Chains A and B, each alone.
Chain A
Amino acid sequence: MTSTRADSGRGRFALPAGVAWSNYALLAIFVVLVVVFCLTVPHFATWANFANVLQRNSIIGIVACGMLLMIILGGFDLSVGAVGAASSVVAAALIVHVSMPFGIIAALLLGLGVGIVNGFFIAKIGINPFVTTLATQVLVTGIMFVGTAAQPVYGVPESFTWLGLGRIGPIPVPTIIFAAVAILTWAILRFTTFGHHVYIVGGNKLAARLAGINVDRVTILTYGLGGLFAGIAGVVLLGQTNIGQPASAADWPLTAIAAVVVGGVPLSGGVGKVGGAVLGTLLLGIIANALNLLGVSPFWQPAVTGAVILVAVGIDSYQRRRLERR
């Protein structure tokens, strides 16, 4: 705060100071919370517990990375839950009836395909992201329920659970996949022309088009990646449950959006970093974990998550608004 005040004489330089502050604020809140929980919550500060938190939140983290891309682009995706459930069902069915690699690849292609369809309708037809992804979510869920007659798909070999429950050394396998997806997302945003175009398109679509950026292609590719990541998450989900469950993952879209916005990424688009999405995911994760360990009723958890979103995003937005008003 002091840096902001010191800058107030030079009004137009105040904004970056505020933005930098909010970046570190999230990290600071996270560190403070971890320290407080370590000191006050029994059994929190054990590696077994940390591994548990990581393993439980990796799936949402993978989804949040895709969601981050779409939010930077100025949109979001409500169909990631349906896509995750569908890809886990498809993977289960194909693993049982055909082969494991085929099942995994088909599940990922399904995610990519639905994402590309989302992008197509948003970019080329001009339906807004909310309506488009709401429709595909319902559509995919419906087809999946028809295909499975709403019955879970059993029979996936026990060995497949390594993907969801296994460890490499002390680290859960899902967390390694999450880390890989996060690093991939970071690299895309940092090193590729596509990644830079995502920021520009999200910041000002008209300007991007007039600057010679193919906005439609960037949009389709972004939603394609979002769908692909949801597909990856679906396969990892199958690894945790070993059952292709059609009625799962319904909470993914909103939880992933919550993780990204708690990570300091505004829904208005044009800005956002992978670190924010990762931190947001873990922040919500450790809060849920701490409540669990303290024996608080699980029914309280959504309420606390809601309060965290309001407080974290509220501080950030209020800060921004004050800076803009000056």
Chain B
Amino acid sequence: MSEGTRTMLLDMQQIRKSFAAGPVLHGVNFQLARGQIHALVGHNGAGKSTLMKTLGGNFADYSGKILLDGEEVALHTPKQALEKGVAMIYQDFSLIPDLSVADNIGLGRDPRGALPGLISHSALRRRSAEEAEAVGIRLPMDTPVRQLGVAEQQLTEIVRACSQNARILVMDEPTARLAPAERQHLFDVMRNMARNRGVGIIYISHFLEEIREVCDVVTVMRDGRIVETGAASAYSVQDLARLLVGHDEIATIASTSPPRGKTGAPLLEIEGLAVAGRPPVDLAIGAGEIIGIAGLIGSGRTRLARAIIGDVAAAGRVRLAGRDLARRTPQRSADAGLVMVPEDRKVSGLALASDIEENMAATALAPRLSRFGIIRAREKRALVESLIAKFGIRPPDRKRAVGTLSGGNAQKVLVARAVAARPKAMILDQPTAGVDVGAKGELHKLVELSAAEGAAILLISDDLDEILALSHRVAVMVGGRIKEVLPREGLDRASLLAAISQGAPAA
């Protein structure tokens, strides 16, 4: 490339960064040219967000050199990075919801009013409008950001970044929640900024098709190293999926035996279940069957799970063991034998200040462990202690507050809570997220045990290996729709990744 001889906009050399658990970046070299849209792809844990956080000034203790326009810079705080023209646009926006678009664009750069300490709102509004126009973005300047759609919020962020003279724009999964038309508009804005303003854009996305559509160059990361860089047009989706996974790992996955155990007649049947604005979903899960649901972030898996247990309003029907679960609420579903292990144990899973016993018994308490509202304390205690032993929870102390447990043990409490209710069907949403390898293996065994005892299990996971290791069948979810249900045989990580990465994101 001819650009190689000129100074690069960004040149990161031999970047290393370690956390307590070990090194994450092993001497990464990354270059970005002016006006280039550069895709950075990699699995969860490949190191791409650590690399970008380093660039954004989030770590004071990285090693290696970072050159901007050939000049070495130290990026030890987010403020330093911002001053050097590095702007990050994250998935969760850093906008203030009740301020107007104009106020958000001008945040932290108040134009002086008539007296010190006063703000001139008309000057602020005028300046923000000019800044939006300069990058070719039209926004309703007086509308509070709260009332904007996701796409417009994102554009507000982009205008704000550009108005701070950003030379480098890092976009982390910007299209995950956008409709197709909004994506096209975003791509136009990106192209415009790159071609006409010379901004370098680093684009992180799991949608491999998009990368071919909008990016010039693609860099693939794996295990803290860069494994390949080249022109985006030179790779097919399958090529990229294979690079992400790594060749040697394909072999190991293919050799993992698919789950054994017979599956019985349909136990949990979902017919035409449609959450507002999403296409209907049909799925039937047999007794003893584990169906994995694979999809990208934002593909609607958690909403589907919550709709099944009745936490989110939805049209359609859910039947459990032939019985129609009409007018579902999470409580009625649990009483009927359909329970959920929610994602994110801290936010939606556990009462952290309460002890193991109270959390573990929460679902089973009313239907199984009480009579006329009075708790049968001895049975509750026996059940909790048997589950603590069965799940291997450390320390085995039923009176310990859940908030003091390690992630793996807290997650075991959450799964044990569902098992304690002796469910006919279970929905597991990211059951091993943020759990160490040992606890993960134990949880997998316990999930398989539940299936072997006849429960129908729906498994949502970002971890494709987990889905492949446990599922009898795999449902591929794209844009709120189940695109296809694949048999486990003949699937490997690369083919599954390619399946979920194709097609438009959520509409």
Same complex for A and B? Answer: yes
Using a CB–CB cutoff of 8 Å, the interface residues on chain A facing chain B are 12-13, 15-16, 19, 191-194, 196-197, 199-200, 202-204, 206-214, 270-271
Known contacts A193-B375, A208-B362; A12/B405 CB under 8 A: yes
Whether B347 lies near A206 (C-beta < 8 A) is: yes
Query: Once bound together, how far apart are the Cα atoms of A207 and B410, in whole Å?
Result: 13
Report B81-110 CB contacts with A as 1/0, cut-off 8 Å.
000000000000000000000000000000
* Least CB distance, B315 to chain A, in whole angstroms: 21
In the bound complex, residues from chain B placing their C-beta under 8 Å from that of A202 are 351
Query: Once bound together, how far apart are the Cα atoms of A203 and B334, in whole Å?
Result: 20
Known A212-B421, A213-B363; 10 more pairs at CB < 8 Å: A16-B404, A191-B377, A196-B358, A199-B358, A206-B348, A207-B347, A210-B309, A210-B330, A210-B340, A214-B329
Considering only residues 328-344 of chain B, those with a C-beta below 8 Å from chain A are 329-331, 333-335, 339-340, 342
Considering only residues 284-340 of chain B, those with a C-beta below 8 Å from chain A are 306, 309, 311, 329-331, 333-335, 339-340
* Least CB distance, A7 to chain B, in whole angstroms: 11
Query: Once bound together, how far apart are the Cα atoms of A161 and B365, in whole Å?
Result: 43
Whether B333 lies near A16 (C-beta < 8 A) is: no
Whether A211 lies near B354 (C-beta < 8 A) is: no
Identity of the chain A residue whose Cβ is nearest the Cβ of B400 in the assembled complex: A16
Whether B354 lies near A212 (C-beta < 8 A) is: no
Query: Once bound together, how far apart are the Cα atoms of A200 and B413, in whole Å?
Result: 14
Identity of the chain A residue whose Cβ is nearest the Cβ of B334 in the assembled complex: A212
In the bound complex, residues from chain A placing their C-beta under 8 Å from that of B377 are 191
* Least CB distance, B221 to chain A, in whole angstroms: 32
From A210, A211, A214, A270, residue with most partner B Cβ within 10 Å: A211
Does B495 touch A at the CB level, under 8 Å?
no
Query: Once bound together, how far apart are the Cα atoms of A12 and B403, in whole Å?
Result: 9
Whether B352 lies near A19 (C-beta < 8 A) is: no
Whether B331 lies near A191 (C-beta < 8 A) is: no
Whether B406 lies near A212 (C-beta < 8 A) is: no
Does B482 touch A at the CB level, under 8 Å?
no
Q: What are 28 A-to-B residue pairs whose CB atoms are below 8 Å? A: A12-B405, A13-B404, A191-B374, A192-B375, A193-B366, A193-B370, A193-B373, A196-B361, A197-B362, A199-B351, A200-B351, A202-B351, A203-B351, A203-B353, A204-B348, A204-B350, A204-B351, A204-B352, A206-B348, A207-B348, A207-B351, A208-B351, A208-B362, A211-B330, A211-B339, A211-B362, A213-B363, A270-B353
Identity of the chain B residue whose Cβ is nearest the Cβ of A214 in the assembled complex: B331
Identity of the chain B residue whose Cβ is nearest the Cβ of A199 in the assembled complex: B354
Does B160 touch A at the CB level, under 8 Å?
no
Whether B354 lies near A209 (C-beta < 8 A) is: no
In the bound complex, residues from chain B placing their C-beta under 8 Å from that of A199 are 351, 354, 358
In the bound complex, residues from chain A placing their C-beta under 8 Å from that of B374 are 191-193
Query: Once bound together, how far apart are the Cα atoms of A197 and B361, in whole Å?
Result: 10
In the bound complex, residues from chain A placing their C-beta under 8 Å from that of B351 are 199-200, 202-204, 207-208, 270
